[in-house]
Amino acid sequence: MAEAQMFVSQDEFTCSLCEDTLTDPVSIPCGHNFCLKCLTNYRDQSQECSCHKCRHTFTTRPDLRRNNLLNEVIKKLKKTTLSSPPPQNYAGPGDVECDFCTGEKFRAVKSCLTCMASYCQTHLQPHYEGDALKHHKLVDPDRNLKEKLCEKHQKSLEIFCKTDDSCICVMCVVSGHKNHEMVELETEREEKQMSVVREVEENEKSFTALMRCIEEAHRKLTERIREQEKREIEKAEGVMEQLEKEIEELKRREAELKELSETKDHLHFLQVRATLHRESDQTGVCGTSE
């Protein structure tokens, strides 16, 4: 259970003489408290023997009694409630606001599913201290409380109807779900949670199997592409080799024709030219035209 916090007025711990928080407080018979130094100075300067706060007059100057308990309380309160609430206690962007704060709202620390409201630490205290509220169901701050209300009866959704597969309120039980199979939300959550876990495991298995199929298909496709690439390369290399041979043959014939064109032997010219034509017809390489 969260620790209760005490919020009190600053005036209850203020000296009416210096108008500041009591320091080394002392009490007088009328019940009022003052700083020891302030009251001593006041008594030294005043002709009357009276209380500065309530004006009660004493027949004799009362003894000053140090209020040790009050002094300890003030020390503790200075560290907590007498100081301004720290900025982080105020609701900021993304925080759930207290439904009961007025003016600048504090950040909610709990939401009540029974009251369907959110509370800051101050307004939450009755849920911890009052018998009528201490059995209410408190959860972490929830900005979607309206979604937890039955649209028809405006009651909190506390029961799960297995027959209709829906969340219902206590009024729905008697008004529209008679003889239906019903369980508590926590019970259905546990059952559904186990089902979700099983589905996740099955999905992981299916995903793993699918990934293996994809990897195998990718491997086979890569091998096929590489084999086809290899065949195409081999084919291209054969064509290049053939072309190189034809180029060499053309160069050879070009040299022979050049040499033949320079000869002065008519018979030799005609014999060699005829031979070149026959070779050209056999190899498919055309000779020079007449």
For the purposes of burial, counting CB atoms within 10 Å of the CB of 124, is it exposed (0-12), middle (13-18) or buried (19 or more)?
Answer: buried
Give 139's strand partners: 111
What pTM, to 2 d.p., does this model score?
A: 0.36
- Per-residue pLDDT at 289 exceeds 60: no
Top-confidence residue, 82 or 278: 278
> How many other C-beta atoms are found inside a 10 Å radius of the C-beta of residue 107?
19
User: Where are the chain's structural domains?
Assistant: 10-83, 187-283
Can you identify the CATH homologous superfamily of domain 10-83? Zinc/RING finger domain, C3HC4 (zinc finger) (3.30.40.10)
Tens-place pLDDT, residues 89-141: 788 888 999 999 988 889 999 998 888 899 998 888 888 877 788 788 888 89
Q: DSSP secondary structure string, 219-273? A: HHHHHHHHHHHHHHHHHHHHHHHHHHHHHHHHHHHHHHHHHHHH---HHHHHHHH
Q: Which two tokens stand for residue 198?
A: 């099983």
Q: Is 81 helix (H, G, I), strand (E, B) or coil?
A: coil
Tens-place pLDDT, residues 180-229: 999 988 888 888 888 888 888 888 999 999 999 999 999 999 999 999 99
> Strands (DSSP E) along 87-133, which ranges?
110-112, 117-119
